[in-house]
């Protein structure tokens, strides 16, 4: 028996925010922005202002049900097929990438491709939602961002998109894209500020216990080095290198350890990793220093020495180049939450320290 869908009516006094819940891992992809806009509307109403927001969370298909990987099933009151009125702000929230197998989404992509300034003032995406916009041709030639872990995939799959993997959100014309999960709240707050000013956006941010303008970049969250297969030369070397980061490391010494000539080692290493050995080692030093900052009480100077980053000034410059943040600011942001409450960390999470670390 088919369910009856009630008629959707847009409130002409309010800005219509349509959030398409695409499914996938994170409920926060659509719940976070929905709460931000809903509280902004409540705040405006309390001030006696009627020009707030009408928020509608909709499904991309006629079934109006969205499955989350957490086991929750979201029953939307409406689907995109129920909307015939102009939209102020359209947000494609997340992506379960079902478009590769789900024929039901053909209609959704046809609808999405038809979005223009005439029927939709702002077009936005959160996390993997950027792939939906790209598939619909809405990101061709535009600057865009997505979750840091999906950036390379977006570049390869849609080469016409100018991917910025560092920004929490990016704006190009009337198209707004944001990074992973909580970046959707960053974007929603920016849109509220664009519409109603800083004071309202700040009030919403405080209610959500969130930054109005979050410091940093996505680079601080991502990994500088990919996970290599066990047969990769970098993976075979990693443990050996980590034990010797405090020492000078050169191609000749590493090649000798592998019983290879320096020239052959450099050629094989670059072919298998896409990086010259020196650049790989520098990134490995930074990755190891990050873990010390997160998990230990070692001083910044000791971490610089232990990881072979020379001194505090050199480590600071290297962190800024790779992560766009200083070591002290990184520790403040990413230090184990258990430390804040003076709770002993599980032994498996502690970083083993080289013998010379003291």
134: CATH: 3.40.50.880
Using the 8-state DSSP alphabet, how is residue 19 labeled? E
Q: Residues 208, 271: one domain? A: no
Q: Residues 194, 252: one domain? A: no
In the three-class reduction of DSSP (H, G, I as helix; E, B as strand; rest coil), residue 255 is classed as helix
Q: Residues 248, 190: one domain? A: no
**Which residue in 234, 300, 323, 227 sits closest to 272, CA to CA?**
234
Could you tell me the CA-to-CA distances from 312 to 306, 315, 354 in Å, in that order? 11, 5, 19
pLDDT of residue 346: 42
Could you tell me the CA-to-CA distances from 135 to 4, 111, 142, 183 in Å, in that order? 31, 12, 13, 21
> 223-267, pLDDT tens digit by residue?
777 778 888 999 899 999 999 999 999 999 999 999 999 999 999
The pTM assigned to this predicted structure is: 0.68
Q: Residues 246, 201: one domain? A: no
- Is 70 exceeded by the pLDDT of residue 25? no
Q: How far apart are CA 204 and CA 340, in angstroms?
A: 26
In the three-class reduction of DSSP (H, G, I as helix; E, B as strand; rest coil), residue 38 is classed as helix
Q: Residues 39, 150: one domain? A: yes
pLDDT of residue 355: 40
- Average pLDDT (45-74) is 87
Domain count, the chain: 2
In the three-class reduction of DSSP (H, G, I as helix; E, B as strand; rest coil), residue 68 is classed as strand
- Is 70 exceeded by the pLDDT of residue 221? no
Alpha-carbon 269 to chain mean position:
29
> 133-173, pLDDT tens digit by residue?
999 999 999 999 998 888 889 999 999 999 987 778 899 99
Q: Residues 179, 285: one domain? A: no
Q: Report whether 245 contacts 308 (CB < 8 A).
A: yes
Q: Residues 24, 171: one domain? A: yes
CATH at residue 299:
1.10.10.60
In a domain, 3, yes or no: no
- Is 90 exceeded by the pLDDT of residue 113? yes
Q: Residues 146, 183: one domain? A: yes
In a domain, 9, yes or no: no
Q: Residues 174, 268: one domain? A: no
Q: Residues 179, 318: one domain? A: no
Q: How far apart are CA 161 and CA 34, in angstroms?
A: 27
Could you tell me the CA-to-CA distances from 61 to 66, 82, 285, 299 in Å, in that order? 9, 10, 47, 54
Helix (H) or strand (E) holding 271: helix 262-273
- Average pLDDT (106-129) is 94
In the three-class reduction of DSSP (H, G, I as helix; E, B as strand; rest coil), residue 121 is classed as strand
Q: Residues 261, 173: one domain? A: no
pLDDT of residue 352: 44
**Which residue in 17, 161, 162 sits closest to 93, CA to CA?**
17
Terminal CA-CA length for the chain: 71
- Is 60 exceeded by the pLDDT of residue 127? yes
**Taking phi first (over 0 means left), then psi (-120 to 50 degrees means alpha), and beta for anything else, what does residue 64 get?**
left
Q: How far apart are CA 244 and CA 358, in angstroms?
A: 15
Q: How far apart are CA 134 and CA 160, in angstroms?
A: 9
In the three-class reduction of DSSP (H, G, I as helix; E, B as strand; rest coil), residue 73 is classed as strand
Q: Report whether 84 contacts 37 (CB < 8 A).
A: no
Q: Count Cβ atoms below 10 Å from residue 116 Cβ, excluding itself.
A: 10
Show the tokens assigned to 313.
Answer: 């000034």
Range of the domain at 258: 233-357
**Which residue in 206, 189, 184, 204 sits closest to 46, CA to CA?**
204
In a domain, 7, yes or no: no
Q: Residues 95, 192: one domain? A: yes
Q: How far apart are CA 269 and CA 228, in angstroms?
A: 12
C-alpha torsion 326→331→332→333, nearest 10: 90
In a domain, 5, yes or no: no
């Amino acid at each position: 028996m088919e369910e009856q869908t009630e008629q959707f009516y847009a409130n002409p006094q309010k800005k219509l925010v349509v959030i398409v819940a695409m499914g996938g891992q994170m409920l926060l992809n659509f719940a976070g922005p929905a709460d931000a806009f809903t509280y902004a509307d409540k705040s405006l109403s309390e001030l006696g202002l009627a020009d707030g927001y009408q928020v509608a969370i909709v499904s991309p298909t006629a079934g109006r049900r969205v499955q989350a990987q957490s086991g929750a099933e979201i029953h939307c009151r409406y689907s995109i097929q129920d909307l015939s009125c102009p939209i102020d702000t359209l947000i494609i929230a997340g992506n379960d990438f079902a478009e590769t197998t789900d024929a039901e989404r053909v209609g959704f992509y046809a609808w999405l491709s038809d979005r223009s300034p005439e029927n939709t003032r702002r077009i936005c995406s959160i996390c993997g939602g950027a792939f939906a916009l790209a598939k619909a041709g809405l990101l061709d030639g535009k600057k865009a961002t997505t979750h840091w872990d999906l950036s390379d995939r977006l570049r390869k799959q849609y080469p016409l998109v100018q991917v910025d993997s560092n920004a929490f959100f990016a704006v190009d014309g009337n198209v707004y894209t944001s990074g992973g999960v909580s970046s959707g709240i960053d974007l929603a707050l920016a849109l509220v500020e664009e519409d109603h000013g800083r004071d309202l956006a700040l009030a919403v941010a405080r209610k959500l216990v969130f930054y109005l303008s979050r410091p940093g970049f996505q680079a601080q969250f991502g990994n500088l080095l990919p996970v290599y297969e066990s047969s990769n030369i970098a993976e075979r070397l990693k443990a050996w290198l980590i034990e010797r980061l405090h020492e000078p490391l050169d191609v000749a010494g590493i090649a000798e350890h592998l019983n290879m000539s320096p020239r052959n080692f450099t050629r094989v290493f670059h072919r298998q990793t896409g990086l010259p050995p020196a650049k790989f080692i520098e990134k490995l030093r930074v990755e190891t220093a990050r873990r010390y900052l997160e998990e230990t009480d070692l001083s910044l100077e000791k971490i610089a020495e232990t990881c072979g980053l020379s001194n505090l000034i050199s480590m600071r410059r290297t962190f800024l180049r790779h992560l766009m943040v200083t070591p002290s600011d990184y520790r403040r942001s990413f230090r184990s939450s258990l430390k804040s409450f003076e709770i002993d960390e599980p032994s498996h999470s502690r970083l083993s320290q080289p013998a010379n670390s003291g």
